[in-house]
Copies of this chain bind each other. A is one copy, B any other.
């Protein structure tokens, strides 16, 4: 069981962010959107239910932190934790590779 492929860290990271919306949410957070509604608008066609769920999972996984202000019109701030920032940082080259991969594919299959 020592270092079976199943145990490789990539699986861990995929378990953390390998969902349809999490990478997007993480990027948004990194770019400055912090309120629930901002995220909702920024991310896409994500529904409130799913956004709330993903946020909660991210929180449980210590990738983002939630701060609720007792203030007036309900206000909650989400932010990347140091861990989340680390991961986001780490994923940067991966994102670039993915981008390049896509560009490469576009050349091969110019069906548009």
Contact = CB atoms under 8 A, between A and B. Distances in A.
Contacts of A87: 97
A20 to B, nearest CB: 8
Bin chain A's interface residue count. 35 or more
Contacts of A96: 9
Contacts of A32: none
A91 interface: yes
Q: Report whether over half of chain A's contact residues are helix, strand or loop; otherwise say mixed.
A: helix
A37 to B, nearest CB: 16
A15 to B, nearest CB: 8
A24 B9 CA distance: 10
B44 A98 contact: no
Nearest to A86: B97
Nearest to A93: B90
Interface of A: 4-6, 8-14, 16-18, 23-28, 42-44, 83, 86-87, 90-91, 93-102
Question: Considering the complex of A and B, which 9 residue pairs feature the smallest CB-CB distances, nearest first?
Answer: A9-B98, A12-B98, A9-B95, A5-B24, A18-B18, A10-B23, A9-B99, A5-B27, A13-B98
